[in-house]
Structure 1
């Protein structure tokens, strides 16, 4: 039963293309209409704060209502919310306050929507009968490839049809994502046995379920460590992608160049993820994890900070992309191997919330750094902090636990339908 896996991957591809399009089109739209880096950072805050909040509190809803149902519902609602941005702008009704409200609603829907898709991985592994690294690797390949095309398309669309129309196309992508997921995953298999939520009704109240997820996460130092470390790297990347990189492109390049740069990194990340999908279950996780972060982080910031020529920037981003492709398959496999089936929704949501927890401050951090120390120094400082944070596992022996792998036969479970 691999149709659910293929449908899920296709739906994710559409989602990633739309997300990458929005990541470039929205800040560009704000910079064009307001000319303010501070307001651009404020938009990022209003999008990411509700996103993180819903990641924290939406986990039990995913376990209760079903991953597929939550994902489809959030995508359909996002179609309406995101579509209102270009519609109101075209009619002259899009004031900055209204834009903040719509962006906040879009972020609130994206939180549980993304988590619900991700939480489907254990069932897809059981259905397809492949190693967890294979599915997380394929997911990462799709993410990187779609991000590559999405970034390239964003640069072209912004230049040809404008940022507002590019956002309208993003709204359409949500609808397509919901349709594909609905038509291909009508029978997503679940793990059988007493842990199957379809057979055992959990009487625990909502807040109790949320507390159970937090208790489990807090007791697993590896999962908690991943969430904390990725929280800081995501903060840095958010500051760079939402403010620093667009401003650098406006002053040193163009929207098309920025889109192409992100596309090159995304394409190279897809290559790295494809390699990880093929050999991920045979390589050592711990040294791969450290080396990948070492190559992915600091060099990207340093090459811009020193004012390197454009060809050198593209080369460094390409190498960093290949290296980054190994990270998500490893992290994804670790998560789903260590979390019990009944807790997948709430624990993965809390991990995601932790990973995204500081991102709402990324735009403000980027805007503040540029205003106080300048663009070049901002790149340099963020690169150094990225290096320090990502190399912490090298001195903490707890992280060596990520080498542990479960019995492959344990993932081959009978299938049951999910509503």
Structure 2
């Protein structure tokens, strides 16, 4: 006899994340199916990313071309991201995901056939990247919003963190395997595995028990839902400013395919195996950051901003690292800081969003975080081509640092805080403290 609907659910008494263990979400059967199906396809996704970037670099010899490929994959999110959020709020998320996962898998199989046939050119890669990007417009908000329906609000932070650990663990395996596959049998096999790997999440979605989902109200269809979502975010600082910060970090800080290709080839004069190694080292830190976040209780917004500042600092240090060993040693720290920022920002937005608005909030987040790549990707590629990889990374890290500082000052002002610099013994040199009543009255 199969267990009842609540047999694998989290205990009803569990209402906060304070006492949650690292793997608490595995108590939920539907989440286990989601997690293990994603594990298989995530490895394929990372294999394809590495193989695709290296293939474009081989076909063109240009870091800017790699940037264009990345931009085309994320341009639809910038243009149509909010529409994907509306669909995720309005429709059955599981049915949406069955369709989007099938399209992304078929794109991988098509690229494999073109590569095996030895007719592939850079325009094929551009076109298929655009197809994947269009599917991702709906896939991303539906997949992220569905997590809360699978595990419920008490386990949401834990589940989001485990999903991030899952994705980044695949980043450990995928690039390493891709590096070996590319150098031994060619990129086509990496594309083939990626296409076939989507059978796993599709099977997992079909096996989930609908009766065990947390009931969630769907947004009714009516005019002006895009504007409604924008007004909702704009009226809530706890949603608006993390999204603004994610936009800057995503546009100027998450250009690792371009930077690592440029450093591997132009600075360290190495091959695809080294490129895969650097990606794997960064993923080690990302996995650690995600697992730490899975155990962590609720954090204030200042922690998210501090993580963004640390991420920017690590980018700047990496840009001036004089040797390959030091650059490689910094990659796990970059990954840890970046993942800590990403997980805390993501879960904060989900927890602070109304369920009927969650898809639109998450789509706006993804629109600025991922959709900024069509701007940042080509710009970073051009900087790397014209002035060198170090200048490109320095520029990206500097913009992220300024954005972190700017958002921190805005939030401090909203929260009635001011920056105090003290040289007295026993006091921190720099701290945020409550503003004097006279100051608040003067600025009211």
Task: Assess same fold via TM > 0.5.
Answer: yes
- What is the CA deviation profile of residues 360-394 of structure 1, one whole-angstrom value per residue up to 9, with x for unaligned ones? 12331122112332222222222222211223332
> Structure 1 pair 95/257, CA: closer, same or farther in 2 (3 Å)?
closer
Q: What pairs with 1:8-23 in structure 2 (closer than 5 Å)?
A: 8-23=34-49
* Structure number with higher helix proportion: 1
- What is the CA deviation profile of residues 304-341 of structure 1, one whole-angstrom value per residue up to 9, with x for unaligned ones? x3242222222222223333342233222211222111
- What is the CA deviation profile of residues 239-267 of structure 1, one whole-angstrom value per residue up to 9, with x for unaligned ones? 3x232211221231322222122212212
The two structures have a TM-score, normalised by structure 1, of: 0.84
Residue equivalent to 1:104: 130
The question of 1:361 aligning with 2:375 is answered: yes
> Structure 1 pair 56/287, CA: closer, same or farther in 2 (3 Å)?
closer
SS of the aligned residue for 1:6 comes to helix
Residue equivalent to 2:440: none
2:220 alignment partner, one of 186, 189, 202: 202
Residue equivalent to 1:294: 309
1:386 alignment partner, one of 400, 403, 409: 400
Q: Structure 1: how far apart are the matches of 2:413 and 2:31?
A: 30
Q: Which has the higher contact order (CA 8 A, sep 6+)?
A: 1
Report the alpha carbon displacement of residue 287 of structure 1 after superposing the two structures with TM.
Answer: 4.2
Residue equivalent to 1:337: 351
Structure 2: gaps spanning 5 or more residues: 1-8, 10-27, 416-444
1:53 alignment partner, one of 68, 73, 79: 79
- What is the CA deviation profile of residues 275-315 of structure 1, one whole-angstrom value per residue up to 9, with x for unaligned ones? 2211233xx43443233223322323433x32422222222
Larger Rg, first or second structure (1 or 2): 2
The two structures have a TM-score, normalised by structure 2, of: 0.80
Q: What pairs with 1:39-188 in structure 2 (closer than 5 Å)?
A: 39-126=65-152, 130-184=154-208, 186-188=210-212
> Structure 1 pair 232/19, CA: closer, same or farther in 2 (3 Å)?
farther
1:393 and 1:399 in contact (8 A); partners too: no
CA RMSD of aligned residues (A): 2.4
1:223 and 1:351 in contact (8 A); partners too: no
Structure 1: gaps spanning 5 or more residues: 402-419
Residue equivalent to 1:328: 342
2:305 and 2:341 in contact (8 A); partners too: no
